[in-house]
Amino acid sequence: MSRLPEAKPTHTSTTIQKGTPVTAKRLSLCGLMLLGLAACGAKTESTTAPAASAAAASTAANSGLPETQVLKIYNWSDYVDPETVTDFEKKFGVKVTYNYYDSDEALESKMLAGKSGYDLAGPSNAFVGRQIAAGAYQKIDKSLLPNYHYINPKLLTLLQKVDPGNQYAVPFFWGTNTFAINVEKVRNALGTAELPANQWDLVFKPEYTAKLKQCGISYLDSAAEMYPMVLNYLGRNPNSDKAEDIAAATETLKANRPNIKRFTSSGFIDDLARGDICVAVGFGGDLNIAKRRLIEASGKDHIRVMMPKEGVGLWVDSWTIPADAANVLNAHRYINDQLDPHVAAKNGDYVSYAPASLPARDLMAAEYSQDHSIFPTDEELEHSFVMVPLEPEALRNMVRQWQSVKAGK
């Protein structure tokens, strides 16, 4: 058993305002370390911003791509420091339009429809391979990305499983699927400061969720995000496409369904910060955003982002250029700008996620660069797993059962 820390106000000021079939199912600690995800930020010399901008401008001039003054981006909400967008607009004389989705499924539907209307999108590694195979994206011109060499090469190795040769996807953030709790509310609901030995019991065991129902539990509104966590909790292959494994996960979800207040892949940030819920399954960085919003609003450091010893889900989000993109040159410019270590660090501090730009970690504020929920330790990664694509039929089966779970059937 582990004990909840005493909830107490904090006086620390913050600057933050603010998911092709693969056979590899689980990466061991050794595998994760080979991917470089467990390592500390590497010391890498970064090109100065003016030099990088000059190099990008020179390369772009020879690209043959038309100059435009617009860039349309489709991405997750709260996933960029607005100041970096404004800086980009001023640097290149471009007007950026940012629209948002709240699930990988919503993005996939838009991209596979054929006419996205966007110049950039940010799919996760568990979805991007299928979208590439369907012809949703055009190839990246790496000659337009002088900052490409800053990318953690181990992330590129991971992505080659779904993007051979790294031709279509450029990683920008990686992170975790986990959960967070409001320490004070959970203590009151359970009547004890003791947490179960397996902390995932707070989310998936009716004995606990029935008690926590009174202060509110939310799940991610995504079968592809939720099922791997349930399967891992059950001691099964988290990326299994076997019908019996999916059915077992469904039964666990159904057993807890009466105790779940909301299914959302973005609303949990404000719900948790406001105290409308006390337990939220979500993306690690977003859960940290909720924590900081509560601190800013009340001075109370009551939210704890959990890193259970049983493991969490790991993913990589990448920039892609839709096949129908009208502003391809600006799309490349934006990707390159986001890979600049200083820009990546600023975004990392703002959104509480780990940048793909390797030197960025050393430029981030210590409260984020040393936060284990953002950069997990070797021990925390030991039992974690990388989210991978499922066979289409297995995913359809999972989604059908997920809809049944949500409907309470």
Q: What is the CATH number of the domain that holds 391?
A: 3.40.190.10
Residue 29 belongs to some domain of the structure: no
How much is the pLDDT for 39? 46
How much is the pLDDT for 37? 59
Residue 346 belongs to some domain of the structure: yes
Residue 302 belongs to some domain of the structure: yes
Number of domains in the chain: 2
Residues 6 or more apart from 405 whose CB is under 8 A from it? Answer: 250, 253, 254, 257
- Report the alpha-carbon distance of residue 211 to residue 318 in Å, rounded: 39
Residue 102 belongs to some domain of the structure: yes
Residue 44 and residue 66 in one domain: yes
H or E element, residue 169: none
How much is the pLDDT for 13? 28
Choose among 325, 284, 378, 268: nearest CA to 119.
Answer: 325
C-alpha Rg value of the chain to the nearest Å: 21
Residue 146 and residue 87 in one domain: yes
- Do 2 and 199 form a contact (C-beta atoms < 8 A)? yes
Residue 265 and residue 323 in one domain: no
Residue 324 lies in domain: 38-175+315-378
What's the angle, vertex CA 22, arms to CA 19 and CA 26, rounded to 5? Answer: 75
Residue 299 belongs to some domain of the structure: yes
- Report the alpha-carbon distance of residue 209 to residue 255 in Å, rounded: 10
Residue 268 and residue 393 in one domain: yes
Residue 128 and residue 260 in one domain: no
Residue 268 and residue 121 in one domain: no
Q: Measured on CA atoms in the order 88, 336, 151, 99, is the torsion positive or negative?
A: positive
H or E element, residue 232: helix 223-233
Neighbour count for residue 108 (Cβ, 10 Å): 21
Residue 18 belongs to some domain of the structure: no
Residue 25 belongs to some domain of the structure: no
Residue 189 and residue 288 in one domain: yes
Residue 169 and residue 247 in one domain: no
How much is the pLDDT for 22? 30
Q: Measured on CA atoms in the order 331, 332, 338, 343, is the torsion positive or negative?
A: negative
- Report the alpha-carbon distance of residue 25 to residue 37 in Å, rounded: 17
How much is the pLDDT for 31? 43
- Do 130 and 20 form a contact (C-beta atoms < 8 A)? yes
Residue with tokens 């999108």: 121
Residue 361 and residue 258 in one domain: no
CB half-sphere exposure, 369, CA atoms < 13 A: 16
Residue 355 and residue 296 in one domain: no
Residue 279 and residue 391 in one domain: yes
Residue 72 belongs to some domain of the structure: yes
- Angle formed by the axes of helices 49-61 and 328-339, nearest 10°: 160
Residue 55 and residue 196 in one domain: no
Q: Tens digit of pLDDT per residue, the chain (409 long)?
A: 433 333 333 322 222 233 333 323 334 333 444 345 554 444 444 444 455 455 555 556 667 899 999 999 999 988 999 999 999 999 999 999 999 998 888 999 999 998 899 999 999 999 999 999 999 999 999 999 999 999 999 899 989 989 999 999 999 999 999 999 999 999 999 999 999 999 999 999 999 999 999 999 999 999 999 999 999 999 999 999 999 999 999 999 999 999 999 999 989 999 999 999 999 999 999 999 999 999 999 999 999 999 999 999 999 999 999 999 999 999 999 999 999 999 999 999 999 999 999 999 999 999 999 999 999 888 888 789 988 888 889 999 999 999 999 999 8
Residues 6 or more apart from 38 whose CB is under 8 A from it? Answer: 29, 32, 376, 377, 378, 381
